[in-house]
Amino acid sequence: MFLGAFLVLSEITMRTWLTMIATLAVTATSVMAAEPLPPEGCSRVKLVFVMPPEEPRNDKQAMVNVGGMVLPIDSVRPVSIFVDGKFTGHALASPYSSVQPLLHLRAGDHEFEFKCDGFTSTKVKLTVLPNQCTQNLIVKMTKQADEKTAKSKKSIGTARRLAASEKLKAGNAE
What confidence tens digit (pLDDT) does each residue in 18-74 have? 555 555 544 444 444 566 777 788 888 999 888 887 776 666 777 777 777 777 777
Choose between 4 and 86: higher pLDDT.
86
Q: Is the residue at 173 inside a domain?
A: no
To the nearest whole percent, how much of the chain has pLDDT over 70?
59
Question: What is the separation, in whole angstroms, between the first and last Cα of the chain?
Answer: 111
Domain of residue 119 covers 55-149
pLDDT at site 38 = 76
Q: Is the residue at 138 inside a domain?
A: yes
Buried b (16+ CB within 10 A) or exposed e, 129-146: beeeeeeebebebeeeee
> Please, what is the average pLDDT of the chain?
74
Residue 172 pLDDT greater than 60, yes or no: no
State how many domains the chain has: 1
Nearest CA to 102 out of 31, 41, 159, 45 is that of 45
Q: Is the residue at 5 inside a domain?
A: no
Q: Is the residue at 155 inside a domain?
A: no
Supply the CATH number for residue 60's domain: 2.60.40
Q: Is the residue at 32 inside a domain?
A: no
Q: Is the residue at 20 inside a domain?
A: no
Q: Is the residue at 4 inside a domain?
A: no
Residue 143 pLDDT greater than 60, yes or no: yes
